[in-house]
Amino acid sequence: MKTRIGIIGIVTLVFMAIVVACTPAAAPTPTPTAPAKAAPAPTTAAAPAATPTAAAPAAKPTEAPAAKPAVTTPIKIGFLTPLVGVYASLGADMRDGFLLYLDQKGNTLAGRKVEVIVEDTEVKPDVGLTKAKKLIERDKVNMLAGVISSGVAAGIADYVTSQKTPLMLTNAGDDPLTQQKASPYIFRISFANSQNSMPLGEFAYKKGYRTAVLVASDYPAGWHHTGGFARTFTEAGGKIIQEIYYPLGSPDLAPFITTIKQDANVVHTFSAGADGLKFVTQYAEYGLKGKIPLLCNWCTTEDMLDKEGDAAVGVVNGYPFAPSLDRAQTKAFVEAFTKKYNRPVPPQAEFGYTGAMAIDAALQATKGNIEDVDAFIKALEGVQIEAPRGPIKFDKYHNVVQNIYITEVKKVDGKLVNAVVETAQNASQFWKWSPEDYLKMTQYADLKGKWVK
Amino acid sequence: MNFWILQSLNGLSYGMLLFLLAAGLSLSFGLMNIVNLAHGSYFLVGAYVGLTVMERTGNFMAAVVVGAISVGILGLLMQRLLLRRLTDHLAQVLLTIGFLFILGDLSLVIWGGVPQIIPKPPLFEGPIRIMESVFPSYRLLVIGVGIVVAIFLWWLQDRTAMGANVRAAVDDEEMAGSTGINVALLMTVVFGLGAAMAALGGVVGGAFLTIFPGQDMDVLLLALVVVIIGGLGSLKGAFVAALLVGLLDNFGKALFPELALFTIFAPMAIILAIRPTGLFGRA
């Protein structure tokens, strides 16, 4: 019997080690480096020439490039995305959005064939880094794109910069990557985490809410999203009365949801993917729906909305894209995505699609010469697009400037939709502050746990 | 007051789920001396089969029954054809961990990577009021199912001839065999029953915990913790330990959310230090 206990003990220890090692949460926390060297020097040269406005997403065949491209070998793009784990659904949607655009262009951008190599990050920073190394060193890709999790993005940022490989982030919103730790090689077409939530904090105050509870998955994206909300909400005069952080991908959120203070005016959460599904359904199961209004970032994206069902009705969300937008480009994109993949269109699909659009625009401007990395980056900096989500461009820290939509889940003809109730036009990652003032403020990672006064 | 009632019920419902999961593992290890690391896969595959049945028929009972039976048969086959031949623990670990990966990847191919949730039976969709607090009625159902299964197993083990045979075989396999008990058949049946219970847990749990790739490893770890705390081969031990772990996990998360992973492993270490055979295990 003794040996048996020994064996089962050893086996358990090994599994503990595996599970702890695989816990996606704690990514290397961004160290507060001096913001001085941060901003990549703003491009001054030849800006107007390099502002190609990409065609509307309607599947227009690319016109033959004016000049023959210098190189004719295929362009290789490494695409990092999670295909298992808490963000598996968002990862697949982001990838398919990216591939949809290339498909519409016949897999040819600026006269060169494009080859995409997809790698699964499993939402784990260490796996993400291994896969990034594999793509750059073994597959010799020209650039990287993708990434869902802020943790993974923070984990690979230093490496891709050291390799001078351009990286187009099509979701991961880790704030410091386009702020204190901005890199000349990293662009972000999706959002900085708090870019989504700062408008929501002001919205909450305007709605008359004065006390709020923050609930978030415990990793950078959670701290940034709730932090942005808390920053503008408390500035307006609101009060944070409780903060709850749960491990990303917790099997059960009930122990956390049941501790929410019942006298709060409003609850704000960052819960995405499977966590969003659990949060919204359990929030209703425990009778909080209808009692305390729920504002969130990402908890009702279209990949989960149908599974959440009526529990999601009335939930308010803040992000840069909703498939219900009344724009020609949005409709064309949603139609194309639905036709090809036959499933709902969450924002991540659009981020992938638009990421490919931006790459295309920069390639057109450089005649497909992605090998000249500096010229390619300069071209990317000048990109302005009429994307499905609205007009977008990059700020000088390489983060996207765009509309942020505040939506509410409504039932229209028996179908659940995120309907836009308010739009923050051309919102930058610095919201109403100047970049200099904003970067002087304490970072969200350090403010976590200190919002309750 | 409210807080304690609510959290206790939460912990109990989670604990009952753990009991369904761990009972089979404890029995197969105690009775057959089989280290079965594929036990977590039974949970996951059961949940996915239940999901498919639920989507096709819309009948929750059918989902539970089909999920449990199909995985029970899978367990029977695994034991009969493969595990029975291996007496070496290392060989068993290698074989079953292989199954863990194969079944996990097969599920990924068949059901995809997107997290799923099994629709609850309509009767148990809403919350109910207990004193001043609101509690999901479905979780009460889970507690009920756990109690019923526990009573059934107790009855099976303590009040039936089969149970007496099982107890005899746990105590001394050779002696039991020499009195005419067909130990080999008995083992196969018990193993299948354990697999079916894990699958039952998967279907029941899939309706409130979501199902996703990688869950097999997560639940296996919890099941091992329960078995270690409860003691090998003891149903009573598995029951008590499962409730203990469920409650500890829940209160730990509610009171110290940032120590969430720590709160179930610390008690395990303490119990191992004081009682190396677990609460109800025999040396």
pLDDT in tens, B143-171: 999 999 999 999 998 899 988 988 888 78
Q: Nearest 5°: CA angle at A258, between A419 and B139?
A: 95
Note the pLDDT tens digit of each residue in A200-239.
999 999 999 999 999 999 999 999 999 999 999 999 999 9
User: Are A329 and A307 contained in the same domain?
Assistant: no
> Angle, nearest 10°, between helix axes B215-230 and B39-57?
130
User: Is the domain of A280 the same as that of A354?
Assistant: no
Q: For chain B, say whether A15 makes contact (Cβ under 8 Å).
A: yes
Is A85 an 8 Å CB contact of chain B? yes
Both tokens of A148, joined, read 């869902």
Query: Two tokens at A109?
Result: 């951008």
| Residue among B114, B129, B208 whose CB faces A88 most closely | B114
Lowest mean pLDDT among A28-32, B47-51, B57-61, B186-190: A28-32
Q: What is the pLDDT of residue A47?
A: 37
Contact status of A84 with chain B (Cβ, < 8 Å):
yes
Whether A200 and A221 map to the same domain: the answer is: yes
Residue A203 and residue A306 in one domain? yes
Do A198 and A184 fall within a single domain? no
A237 touches chain B (CB under 8 A): no
Is the pLDDT confidence value at A105 over 50? yes
A45 pLDDT more than 50: no
Q: What are the domain boundaries of chain B?
A: 20-214
**For the whole model, what pTM was predicted?**
0.85
Average the pLDDT over A63-86 and give the result.
76
Assign B276 a pLDDT band (cuts: 50, 70, 90).
Answer: confident
The percentage of chain B sitting over the pLDDT mark of 90, rounded to a whole number, equals 49
Domain assignment present for residue A36? The answer is: no
* Residues A228 and A266 occupy one common structural domain: yes
Q: Stretch B73-102: mean pLDDT, rounded?
A: 91
One domain, residues A310 and A430: yes
**Domains of chain A: total:** 2
Predicted confidence band of residue B123 (pLDDT cuts 50, 70, 90): confident
In a domain, A104, yes or no: yes
Distance of CA B263 to the CA centre of its chain: 20
In a domain, residue A453? The reply is no
Of the listed ranges A110-124, A331-345, B119-133, the one predicted with least confidence? B119-133
User: Considering only A231-245, A330-344, A366-380, B250-264, which range has the smallest mean pLDDT?
Assistant: B250-264
Residue A358 belongs to domain spanning? 48-191+325-398
Tell if the CB–CB gap between A277 and B117 is shorter than 8 Å: yes
Task: Write down the pLDDT at residue B166.
Answer: 85
What pLDDT is recorded for position B213? 84
Write out residues 148-177 of A within 8 Å (CB-CB) of B. none
Of B252, B237, B226, the C-alpha closest to B10 is B252
* Residue A258 reports pLDDT greater than 50: yes
Exposure of A197 in the CB half-sphere (CA atoms within 13 A)? 31
Best A12, A16, A90 member to test B by mutation, with max B CBs in 10 Å, is A12
- Claim to verify: residue A390 and residue A366 sit in the same structural domain: yes
- CATH number at A98 reads 3.40.50.2300
CA distances from B136 to A95, A315, B14, B58, B150 (A): 37, 20, 13, 20, 22
pLDDT tier, A56 (very low <50, low <70, confident <90, very high otherwise): very low
Higher pLDDT pick, A307 / B260: A307
Average model confidence (pLDDT) across chain B: 89
pLDDT above 80 for A70 = no
Q: pLDDT above 90 covers what percent of chain A?
A: 77
**A60 in a domain, yes or no?**
yes
**How close is the nearest chain B Cα to the Cα of A247, in Å?**
7
A65-92: average pLDDT? 81
A285–chain B nearest CA distance, Å = 5
Instruction: Flag whether pLDDT at B101 surpasses 50.
Output: yes
Residue among A245, A256, A258 minimizing CB distance to B6: A258
For residue B278, with 0-12 CB atoms within 10 Å meaning exposed, 13-18 middle and 19 or more buried, which class applies?
Answer: buried
- Indicate whether A2 pLDDT > 60: no
In a domain, A13, yes or no: no
> How many C-beta atoms surround the C-beta of residue B246 within 10 A?
26
Sequence-distant (6+) residues with CB within 8 A of B244 are: B15, B229, B267
Pick the range with the lowest mean pLDDT from A46-55, A109-118, A128-137, A419-428: A46-55
Across chain A, mean pLDDT equals 87
Same domain for A137 and A54: yes
* pLDDT at site A38: 40
Q: Name the token pair of B209.
A: 């915990």
Residue to test with chain B: of A245, A286, A288, most B Cβ within 10 A: A286
A77 and A206 share one domain: no
Residue A44: per-residue pLDDT: 38
pLDDT of res. A229:
97
Interacting residues of B214 by C-beta distance below 8 A, sequence separation 6+: A84, A85, B104
Higher pLDDT, A53 or A149: A149
- Residues of chain B with C-beta less than 8 angstroms from the C-beta of A271: none
pLDDT > 80? residue B195: yes
Span A240-249, average pLDDT: 93
Confidence of residue B3 (pLDDT cuts 50, 70, 90): confident
Confidence of residue A16 (pLDDT cuts 50, 70, 90): low
Closest CA to A286 of B248, B9, B16, B119: B9
Q: Quick one: tokens of B30? A: 């105690």
Determine which helix (DSSP H) or strand (DSSP E) holds A405, and give its type and residue range: strand A400-412
Q: How far is CA A314 from CA A304, A411, A421, B109, in A?
A: 15, 9, 11, 35
Which helix or strand (DSSP H or E) is residue B190 part of? helix B183-206
Measured between CB atoms, does A286 come within 8 Å of chain B?
A: yes
Give the mean model confidence (pLDDT) for residues A347-363: 96
| Cα–Cα nearest to A222, from A69, A420, A26, A438 | A26
| A247 and A226 within one domain | yes
Confidence at residue B53, expressed as pLDDT on a 0 to 100 scale: 96
Q: How far apart are CA A166 and CA A158, in angstroms?
A: 12
Does residue B16 carry a pLDDT above 60? yes
Q: What is the ipTM of this complex?
A: 0.85
Question: Using 50, 70 and 90 to split pLDDT, how confident is the model at A54?
Answer: very low
Tell me if chain B has a CB within 8 Å of the CB of A92. yes
pLDDT tens digits, A276-322: 999 999 999 888 999 999 999 999 999 889 889 999 999 999 999 99
Mean pLDDT confidence for B203-230: 90
Minimum Cα–Cα distance from B114: chain A residue = A89
pLDDT category at A30 given cuts 50, 70, 90 is very low
Same domain, A184 and A93: yes
Task: With a cut of 90, say whether residue A263 has pLDDT above it.
Answer: yes
